[in-house]
């Protein structure tokens, strides 16, 4: 089950509250337990110990009174002492034993389960003392009866006194054992309470530190959970400044992660839209440039092309006339012919420029037919062989075994390949190697022309298809633009990869036939 961000933060602080609550409950429980322990000792065992001490003191006094009675020689005094003993001792002893038994029952109400056995043992001992004192009372009455005579028989006194002393000794020993048991129990409970108090203190300190640690951990976890919010805010700020490349990359399944992923998708969409708008703006600019070229080319065709044709025709007539003319010296004839040849070259160059402008302004509609790309390349290479050999360019052909068939206009395709071959030759002024490879893909045919020339920087490569952009001193900047336009009308494309000093590769892609 996936928990929301608010739920997880709530659970984190709930854990903190539960931890501190558990520490508090533990402290209260231990304080309550210590209070019960103190109450058991102070109001229970100490009172019972005092009752036992009182019984022992009373019993000791009784033993002394018995010794005094046995040593008394006056009959009247003995009788007086016997009357006092009969009057006070039984009632006081019974009263004190009854008070001790009541106290024991009260202690049983205070005692925890673990102390029940000891308290019940105390009650049984007090009951036993009550029974023993009844027997002691009968033995004492026998002694009193013997000693009440004016001249008690020595044998009777000795027998009654021996029984009484045995009872006194036994009762005194039981009372001392009872006091010792209570004293030991009090000492054990006090020592246990002290030890438990130390352990409780350490436990409370440990649990408090643990609770603080849990609180700090929950705070750190909450801060870490909310950290993507800060990243999201920074990303929104970057988008607001126009930087659409902001990508948050937040992972998870909570609301912030989902929002971050949607933000990344939005940023990518905006970036793609910006790139699309930029491409459309560039296309519009190229269209405007092409429209300007169209207008210029029409003017050039009207104002320049016809005069150039006339000039070219007249120059040819002059060359024919010079063949029959006579000059004062061979040097004058050679100079005249060189001037006419220069004029002819310039006329041809200007004618080619006007033709390029016209092709850019009014490109002919291609006649798409299944065309053997390998055959077209071979024809173009044969046509350019002499030119490439003079430039010391080695041509390496890597053609597929099966001739690739593409839908193309052969004449326009020859124009594209001738332009690319000329550019490759000019990129290797000191010679080099030109590798031409064909590849057949599922839906298209690819022709790659790779040279070992100087290559291009990224800034130059990004503008080579712009009309009028050129790096040549005598270039028009229309060759590659015309090639790209031709391939687009074919439903293909023209790509370029280049690095400075690593050569250049042009990739021509055409739809398969």
Residue 1 is predicted with a pLDDT of 47
405 backbone φψ class: left, alpha, beta (φ>0; ψ -120 to 50)? beta
Angle at 232 between CA 228 and CA 236, to 5 degrees: 170
Residue 15 is predicted with a pLDDT of 77
Could you give the 3-state DSSP secondary structure of residue 509? strand
Half-sphere exposure of 294 (CA within 13 A, CB side): 9
Comparing C-alpha atoms, which of 391, 512, 498 is closest to residue 445? 512
Give Cβ neighbours of residue 354 (< 8 Å, ≥ 6 apart): 297, 300, 301, 304, 305, 308
Residue 251 is predicted with a pLDDT of 66
Comparing C-alpha atoms, which of 131, 108, 123 is closest to residue 51? 123
> 363 with 485: CB under 8 angstroms?
yes
Residue 110 is predicted with a pLDDT of 77
Torsion of CA 501, 505, 506, 512, to 10 degrees: 180
Q: Which pTM does this prediction carry?
A: 0.41
Residue 435 is predicted with a pLDDT of 93
Q: For residue 2, what is the DSSP state?
A: P
- The total of other beta-carbon atoms located within 10 Å of residue 81's CB is 18
Q: Round to whole Å and give the CA distance between 496 and 507.
A: 6
Q: Round to whole Å and give the CA distance between 98 and 126.
A: 9
Structure tokens at 442: 């599922």
Q: Round to whole Å and give the CA distance between 513 and 499.
A: 33
Structure tokens at 322: 């010079």
pLDDT along the chain (513 residues), means of 10: 64 77 82 80 83 84 81 78 77 82 82 82 86 82 78 76 83 87 85 82 83 80 71 73 67 66 75 80 72 66 68 75 72 77 74 65 75 90 88 90 86 88 89 91 91 89 80 74 86 91 91 87
Give Cβ neighbours of residue 486 (< 8 Å, ≥ 6 apart): 363, 366, 412, 413, 415, 416
Q: Round to whole Å and give the CA distance between 314 and 309.
A: 9
> 119 with 189: CB under 8 angstroms?
no
């Amino acid at each position: 089950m996936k928990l929301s961000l608010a739920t997880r933060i709530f659970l984190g602080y709930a854990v903190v509250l539960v931890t501190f609550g558990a520490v508090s409950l533990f402290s209260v429980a231990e304080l309550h337990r210590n209070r019960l322990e103190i109450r058991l000792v102070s109001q229970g065992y100490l009172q019972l110990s005092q009752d036992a001490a009182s019984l022992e003191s009373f019993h000791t006094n009784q033993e002394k009174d018995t010794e005094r009675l046995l040593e008394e020689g006056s009959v009247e005094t003995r009788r007086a002492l016997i009357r006092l003993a009969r009057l006070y001792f039984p009632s006081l002893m019974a009263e004190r034993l009854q008070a001790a038994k009541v106290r024991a029952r009260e202690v049983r109400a205070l005692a925890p389960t673990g102390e029940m056995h000891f308290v019940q043992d105390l009650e049984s001992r007090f009951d036993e003392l009550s029974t023993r004192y009844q027997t002691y009372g009968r033995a004492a009455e026998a002694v009193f009866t013997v000693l009440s005579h004016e001249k008690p028989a020595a044998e009777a006194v000795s027998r009654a006194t021996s029984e009484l002393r045995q009872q006194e000794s036994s009762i005194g020993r039981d009372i001392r054992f009872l006091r010792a048991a209570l004293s030991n129990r009090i000492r054990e409970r006090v020592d246990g309470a002290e030890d438990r108090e130390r352990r409780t203190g350490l436990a409370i300190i440990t649990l408090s530190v643990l609770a603080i640690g849990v609180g700090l951990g929950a705070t750190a976890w909450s801060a870490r959970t909310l950290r993507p919010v800060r990243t999201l805010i920074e990303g929104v700020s970057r988008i607001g400044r126009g930087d659409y490349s902001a990508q948050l990359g937040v992972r998870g399944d909570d609301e912030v992660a989902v929002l971050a992923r949607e933000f990344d998708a939005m940023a990518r969409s905006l970036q793609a839209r910006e790139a699309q708008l930029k491409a459309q703006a560039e296309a519009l600019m190229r269209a405007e440039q092409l429209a300007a070229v169209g207008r210029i080319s029409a003017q050039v065709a009207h104002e320049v092309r016809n005069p150039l044709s006339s000039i070219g025709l007249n120059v040819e007539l002059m060359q024919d006339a010079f063949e029959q003319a006579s000059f004062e010296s061979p040097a004058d004839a050679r100079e005249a012919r060189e001037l006419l040849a220069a004029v002819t070259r310039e006329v041809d160059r200007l004618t080619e420029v006007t033709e390029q402008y016209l092709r850019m302004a009014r490109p002919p509609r291609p006649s798409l037919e299944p065309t053997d790309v390998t055959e077209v390349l071979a024809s173009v290479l044969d046509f350019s062989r002499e030119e490439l050999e003079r430039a010391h360019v080695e041509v390496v052909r890597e053609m597929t075994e099966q001739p690739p068939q593409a839908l193309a206009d052969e004449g326009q395709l020859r124009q594209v390949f001738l332009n690319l071959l000329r550019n490759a030759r000019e990129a290797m002024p000191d010679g080099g190697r030109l590798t031409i490879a064909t590849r057949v893909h599922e839906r298209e045919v690819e022709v790659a022309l790779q040279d070992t020339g100087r290559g291009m920087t990224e800034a130059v490569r990004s503008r080579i298809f712009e009309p009028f952009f050129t790096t040549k001193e005598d270039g028009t900047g229309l060759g590659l633009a015309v090639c790209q336009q031709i391939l687009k009308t074919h439903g293909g494309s023209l790509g370029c990869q280049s690095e400075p000093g690593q050569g250049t590769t042009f990739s021509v892609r055409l739809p398969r036939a």
